[in-house]
Each structure stands twice: as structure tokens, then as C-alpha cells.
């Protein structure tokens, strides 16, 4: 199965700062990668699909890039509501797999 490795595990930042999250795949997934945000007690929310497409209703401060094995989620200016856990997920090969998550916390 394809293993997705996210880094860093934790990102300590302040509101207004830029967040850069990484996801590396153990083999190429093309552009078949998504990013999710999850807050405590809530289901995940789709942010980005097909590596760089924002899902419906997602603010423009969220952007995704990359292809093949290296992907990045960027939050241009952190809003207080953006502090959460972020997961990448690939759908290139069964079984579909998730990364282990990156927690964006208040510095």
C-alpha cells in the first residue's frame, strides 16, 4: 500500500502567520491527493482535492500544490479557526490511505 508521511507532526504558529504542511508519498500518486482539516469532536472536512483544487466553500487562503510524491498544503495567513489537525489522503491505488496528520497549534 502507499504510505503517506506528513511533516512536521506539529506546527506551532501564531494567527496571521503562514503555514506550510508537507505530505510525501512512498510512490507516485500523480495528482490524486486530497487534504482534510479536522477539529476536535468533528468529522474531517475536505479542503483540497486533485492536489490543488479547493473544495466548495473553502477560503482562498488555503492552497495545495505538488504532484507525484511531494505535496504541500499552504495556509497563507492563519486565522484562529484554522488551528486544527490536517490530513493528506491518496486515491491513486487501493487501499486508499491517509497520512498520520499534522497538528497546527497556537504558539
Partner 1 sequence: EVQLAQSGGGLVQPGGSLRLSCAASGFTFSSNWMHWVRQAPGKGLVWLSGIYNDGSSTMYADSARGRFTISRDNAKNTVYLQMNSLRVEDTAIYYCARDFLGYFSHWGQGILVTVSS
> How many residues belong to the site for partner 1 (CB under 8 A)?
22
Rule CB under 8 A: is residue 103 a binding residue for partner 1?
no
Rule CB under 8 A: is residue 45 a binding residue for partner 1?
yes
Phi, psi torsion values for 21, nearest 5 degrees: -115, 140
Cell matching residue 6: 506528513
Rule CB under 8 A: is residue 98 a binding residue for partner 1?
yes
Rule CB under 8 A: is residue 54 a binding residue for partner 1?
no
Cell matching residue 70: 511531494
Distance CA 54, CA 104 (A): 19
Q: Shortest gap between Cβ of 73 and partner 1 (angstroms)?
A: 14
SS3 41: coil
Rule CB under 8 A: is residue 30 a binding residue for partner 1?
no
Amino acid at each position: 500500500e502507499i504510505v503517506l508521511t506528513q511533516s512536521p507532526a506539529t506546527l506551532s504558529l501564531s494567527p496571521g502567520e503562514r503555514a506550510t504542511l508537507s505530505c510525501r508519498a512512498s510512490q507516485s500518486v500523480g495528482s490524486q491527493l486530497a487534504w482534510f482539516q479536522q477539529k476536535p469532536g468533528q468529522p474531517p472536512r475536505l479542503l483540497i482535492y486533485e492536489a490543488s483544487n479547493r473544495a466548495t466553500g473553502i477560503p482562498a487562503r488555503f492552497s495545495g500544490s505538488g504532484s507525484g510524491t511531494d505535496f504541500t498544503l499552504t495556509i497563507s495567513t492563519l486565522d484562529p479557526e484554522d488551528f486544527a489537525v490536517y490530513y493528506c489522503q491518496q486515491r491513486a491505488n487501493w487501499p486508499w490511505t491517509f497520512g498520520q496528520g499534522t497538528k497546527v497549534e497556537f504558539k
